[in-house]
Each structure stands twice: as C-alpha cells, then as structure tokens.
C-alpha cells in the first residue's frame, strides 16, 4: 500500500484550504474526566503542525468511546480540545457537533493556520454504518482529506472511508505513513533473522497472524494463555489453565506447519502457576510436563525467559504482539517485563523492534522502555490485520502515491 502522504502536499496545495483530518483521540480519562494518557493526541501533532504551518485550516474529527449512536456527555471531545490547545500553543475551536450549520459557521470564520475540533462522530449512527449521506455532510465543510487514525483504519466508517468519495486529494498523515513503513517492511522486507513473539490469552484471536507469520519468520515465540491449548494438544496436563477445546486440532496443525516451513516455534518450558485468578494468589513454578491439578498458568517461568532471550539475541528484527502472562498482576508480570527489557537492549544494539499494538504497548509503557523501541504501533486490531496481510479500508481508500 503505497499511498500519497501529507508530506507530498505543498503550501500552495493547502494554504487557505479546509483540510478534514481524521485523528484517533480515543484517549483514557479518569473519574474526573481528566486525560490520563495523551499519547494519541501527541501522535497527531506532526500532521496537524505540518498543515497549519502551510497555512491550512485544519478541521479535526475523531471518535471517542462507544456511545452507540447517542449523544453521551461523558464522551464529548472537550478534554481533548483543551489538551490540544496546550500542546499546539493556540486556542483550538471546539464545535458541539460534527455536521450541520454550527460547524459550517465555525469553519467559515476560521483563519489560515487555525484548528477546529468537531464533536464525536460516533454520536451519529451514520458513522459506523458508513452511511453515504452522513459522509457527504461530514465532507461538506472541507476541500481535502487526511487520514491519520491508524487505530481505526481497519474499519470502513464514514469518517475513515466514506468521506474519501467526496474529498480529493485524500492522503495519509504522518502517523499512518510511519505505521505502513514499519509494519509492512517488517513483513515484506525484514532484516533477517526475523522473530515474532505472539502472546495473549486465546489462539482464536491470533490464528490469522500466526498463520501469516509462519510464512515470513525464522522464529516464532508463543506465550500467554494460548500456550495451554498447544500443551493440551500435545497430551499434557494443564490443570485449571485456560484452554480452547475447539482449537486443539488447530494447535497441532500450526506446530506441523512450523516444522514443515523450517520455522523455530518456541513454547515455554516452564510456567508460573496460581491456585486462583487473583493478584494475591498463591504461586509456584513448574515444568510444563508437571502442572498439578487445580492450578492455572498465569506467566512464563524463568527457564522460558532465558530460552526466549537467547533466541531473540540471534535476530535482526522482532515483532511483538501480546503479553507473556497476566502482567496486570505484579506476581505474574516477570515474563512480560523481561521481554520488554530484552527488546529495549536489542534496539540499542541495532535490532529493529516493533511493538504491534494492544497490551504489548501497555507493557512496554509500564516498564518504562517504550521510547527505546524502533516503532510502537498505535493500532491494536489494525496492526494485527496489517500483519495478517489484510487490506485496511481506511488506507485502501486513500490516493495512490
């Protein structure tokens, strides 16, 4: 997907023009309505500042939460407008709607270099339904379109795909450009050897990405709750650990495919067990061959950590998607945290490290090594689908370079 980028637009192309920018401002708030992590807002700044610097009138649009096509006051984008104003050093105009007369009047009064933020697009049913009439109304106040919301690029919504039919050019922002550059290169043209670390609780949510990666990687390291489906498929006792009974044959097939492809598929050799699913559960470490009844695995063990670290040290590129255990509980976070530290060290040594969205991002942030990674993806589902080789509607709809 080589798409036209905002970098290709000159000041002559955008000065005085109204540019609709789809951003991803779906940020976490505390009980008082204050933003607890502004990463996604800061990620949009390069695109916004590039456009304002070239004299464009920037109209920002985003979803926020899941209001289910109702106006929900706690899901208004007002806190985002406040934070954006601070970061940009100018007052961001906040509209209380995303379509209609109020928006038209606000945009009509804008000066070159000013920024306006529209209200949550998901207050309207037409957004997620990708309704052409809603997309047309959304596009009515703009001359051209920039999509910089990678986290929703795998959804064909009105603000990500529909508006491209009414605005030209439609180009990628810097964030999407960077995501494509790293994630596509990792799959299509990686520095070898390439390793992928796949974690998380269920094989079912990662089948597509595991199958695709088996055609691309030299090493595949598997952690998280999904390992117990593989062990059970091998005939091992897994105690009370999470197992997807309907995926046992699939687990066998994936191991067979890895062998056939010459991929080194590594499963943990030992696990940290708990007597129940709780932060203060009693814990013990056991070999995967000797998991006792009544216990459940919540992390990979110390031997596995060492085996995984040794395997990763032989690689030039690493993709990580999904934690090694229940890292929200400190007692069961050692595996995930060790992988995060190892990848930070390897990045310093010139290895390309890509953190593919979701819980892996939370893990590297928790450990404080996020800044050290080569690339941190802003999209969970979108990253997975791109790694699987699927077409992302919000990107496919943009102009070809």
Q: Cβ(66)–Cβ(28) under 8 Å?
A: no
- Structure-block tokens of residue 29: 């708030």
Tell me if 379 sits within 8 A of 373, measured CB to CB.
no
Q: Where do we find the tokens 């289910």?
A: 68
Q: Name the token pair of 92.
A: 């961001």
User: Which phi and psi (to 5°) does residue 208 adopt?
Assistant: -55, -45
Residue 55 among the catalytic residues = no
Q: Is 381 a catalytic residue?
A: yes
* Selected catalytic residue, list 55, 208, 381, 389: 381
Closest C-alpha among 323, 328, 77, 113 to residue 222: 323
In angstroms, the CA 60 to CA 117 distance is 5
What distance in Å separates the CA atoms of residue 353 and residue 386, rounded to the nearest whole number? 16
The catalytically annotated residue of 82, 136, 165, 202 is 202
Integer distance in angstroms from the first to the last C-alpha of the chain? 9
Q: How many CB atoms lie within 10 A of CB 33?
A: 11
Q: How far is C-alpha 220 from the chain's CA centre?
A: 20
Of the residues 358, 379, 380, 394, only one is catalytic, namely: 358
Question: SS3 for 300?
Answer: strand
DSSP class per residue in 47-90? HHHHHHHTT-EEEEE---S--TTS--GGG-SHHHHHHHHHHHTS
Q: Which residue from 365, 374, 396 is spatially nearest to 181, judged by alpha carbons?
A: 374
Catalytic one of 40, 94, 232, 247 = 40
Contact (CB, 8 A) for 49 and 85? no
For the packed helices 45-53 and 78-88, what is the interaxial angle rounded to 10 degrees? 60
What are the residues facing 317 on neighbouring strands?
194, 352
SS3 20: strand
Active site residues: 40, 202, 358, 381
């Amino acid at each position: 997907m080589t798409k036209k980028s905002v970098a290709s637009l000159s000041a002559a192309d955008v000065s005085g023009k109204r540019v609709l920018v789809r951003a991803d401002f779906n940020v976490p708030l505390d009980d008082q309505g204050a933003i607890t992590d502004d990463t996604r807002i800061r990620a949009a700044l390069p695109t916004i500042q590039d456009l304002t610097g070239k004299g464009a009138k920037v109209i920002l649009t985003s979803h926020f939460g899941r209001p289910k096509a109702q106006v929900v006051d706690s899901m208004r984008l007002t806190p985002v407008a406040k934070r954006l104003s601070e970061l940009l050093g100018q007052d961001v105009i906040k509209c209380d709607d995303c379509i209609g007369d109020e928006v038209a009047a606000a945009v009509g009064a804008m000066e070159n270099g000013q920024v306006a933020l529209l209200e949550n697009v998901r207050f309207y049913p037409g957004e997620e339904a990708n309704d052409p009439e809603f997309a047309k109304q959304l596009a009515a106040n703009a001359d051209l379109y920039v999509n910089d919301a990678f986290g929703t690029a795998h959804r064909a919504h009105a603000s990500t795909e529909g508006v491209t039919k009414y605005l030209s050019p439609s180009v990628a922002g810097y964030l999407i450009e960077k995501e494509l550059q790293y994630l596509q290169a990792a799959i299509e043209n990686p520095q070898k050897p390439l390793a992928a670390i796949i974690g998380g609780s269920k094989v079912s949510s990662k089948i597509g990405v595991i199958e695709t990666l088996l055609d691309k990687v030299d090493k595949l390291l598997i952690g998280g709750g999904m390992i117990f489906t593989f062990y059970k498929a091998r005939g091992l006792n897994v105690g009370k650990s999470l197992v997807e009974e309907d995926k046992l044959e699939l687990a066998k097939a994936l191991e067979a495919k890895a062998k056939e492809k010459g991929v080194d598929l590594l499963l943990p050799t030992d696990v940290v067990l708990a007597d129940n699913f709780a932060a203060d559960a009693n814990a013990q470490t056991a070999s995967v061959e000797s998991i006792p009844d009544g216990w459940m695995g919540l992390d990979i063990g110390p031997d596995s950590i060492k085996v995984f670290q040794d395997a990763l040290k032989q690689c030039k590129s690493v993709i990580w998607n999904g934690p090694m255990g229940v890292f929200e509980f400190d007692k069961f976070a050692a595996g995930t945290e060790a992988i995060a530290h190892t990848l930070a060290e390897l990045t310093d040594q010139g290895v390309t490290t890509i953190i593919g969205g979701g819980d892996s991002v939370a893990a590297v942030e928790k450990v404080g090594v996020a800044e050290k990674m080569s690339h941190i993806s802003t999209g969970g589902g979108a990253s997975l689908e791109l790694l699987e080789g699927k077409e992302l509607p919000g990107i496919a709809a943009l102009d070809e370079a």
